Amino acid sequence: MEYNFNEIESKWQKYWADHKTFKAENLSDKPKFYVLDMFPYPSGAGLHVGHPLGYIASDIFARYKRHKGFNVLHPQGYDSFGLPAEQYAIQTGQHPAKTTETNINTYRKQLDKIGFSFDWSREIRTSTPEYYKHTQWIFTALFDAWYNKETDKAEKIDTLIKAFETRGTAGVNAVCDDEVLEFTAPEWVAFSNEKQEQILAKYRLTYLSETEVNWCPNLGTVLANDEIINGLSERGGHPVIRKKMMQWSMRISAYAQRLLDGLKNIDWPQPLKDSQTNWIGRSQGASVTFEVENKKSSSGEVSPLVIEVFTTRPDTIFGVTFMTLAPEHELVSKIVTEAQQEQVGAYVQATSKRSERERMSDVKTISGVFTGAYAKHPFTGENIPIWVGDYVLASYGTGAVMAVPCGDQR
């Protein structure tokens, strides 16, 4: 007997759409179950094979749970605001609003033809004002807030201003930049508005900072790690370099312990909790400073310069035999000797073409270059050679590590 899939599937897909078969009820006596997929980027003319590859597996599970009597919420949406949509619009020479709408309509037709059991009444498009007004609100709420260590929560920036007006920085226990000023209440009042805003920027939960990014000169934009393949942009195959640029950052580290505590209350598999714990990255340790040997560098500067290292094992400090700086570390250009300048410069240039993700995952080809400079051991006074290595990331810790070979084979 012939299976006329065009006729049969069209019939039932129409039935599902007309009767809203897969709509999750807000109020139901059935046990709840949530199946969420990563939303696709509508940044191409249609789906690629990687989309249904993941969706089919989760859809099977959603259908299984429905048959087991669960009220299943299985939504779908489009991650349609950002670099992929922007780059597709640039590539095709069209307004992103037009290309995004066209691509979404194509994606929807293809998803329906495959027969997924999505609850389309819950569709989200991140490019619509109805959605991104919430992310804008979150940003402004963080911008207008500071983190009070005494209450262990964020508070309105107005309360910090009031504290400065009444007692200056005395008694203020906040998450902030390291180089904040100390001042009295009269001094705060005497500061200009511009000076006051500069100080507040060091306390706000969102702030501007110089950050290492993946910059593609040909595309004229910053790229995410997953948009880079072997040092080239996924779209167009253009060279990508690591570059410092002013970016909006968030003091998410202020919430590190609360995030870790909250993981205990979530019913997730332990491996997933472990990955989240690693992502949060809270470490207990100590900061150790090493003074660079007092001699003139190729830049003409004279020490003392200090290298700060964060370590979870300060007790291993007597086993330190060398130090490694991230290629992007600000001290590299200041301490490199004339004899090593060319070699270090070439190494830094080559590293700038690799993404952080690539450097983190490539654990088999550890490399480095000697800067020619030495640091003084804070206890023994011995000279410790300073190297540059791409396995150290400027965005992690202080961008410098003390190497104890007996415990770290790198």
Predicted pLDDT of residue 55: 95
The CATH-assigned architecture of domain 286-403 is: Alpha-Beta Complex (3.90)
Report yes or no: 284 and 258 within 8 Å, Cβ to Cβ. no
What the block records as the tokens of 178 is: 């390291």
pLDDT of residue 294: 65
Residue span(s) of the chain under CATH 3.90.740.10 come to 286-403
Fold classification of 5-126 (topology level): Rossmann fold (3.40.50)
In the chain, CATH 3.40.50.620 sits at: 5-126
pLDDT by 10s per residue, the chain, length 410:
788 999 999 999 999 999 999 999 999 999 999 999 999 988 777 888 888 889 999 999 999 999 999 999 999 999 998 777 777 777 788 898 898 999 999 999 999 999 999 999 999 999 999 999 999 999 999 999 999 999 999 999 999 999 999 999 999 999 998 778 899 999 999 999 999 999 999 999 999 988 888 898 988 888 887 788 888 887 778 898 888 899 899 998 899 999 999 999 999 999 999 999 988 888 888 999 999 986 555 555 555 789 999 988 888 898 999 999 999 898 999 999 999 999 999 999 888 777 777 777 777 778 899 999 999 999 999 999 999 999 898 878 889 999 887 655 54
Residues in contact with 316: Cβ distance below 8 Å, sequence separation at least 6, in sequence order: 404, 407
**pLDDT score, position 221:** 81
Q: What is the pLDDT of residue 109?
A: 94
Q: Report whether 356 contacts 348 (CB < 8 A).
A: no
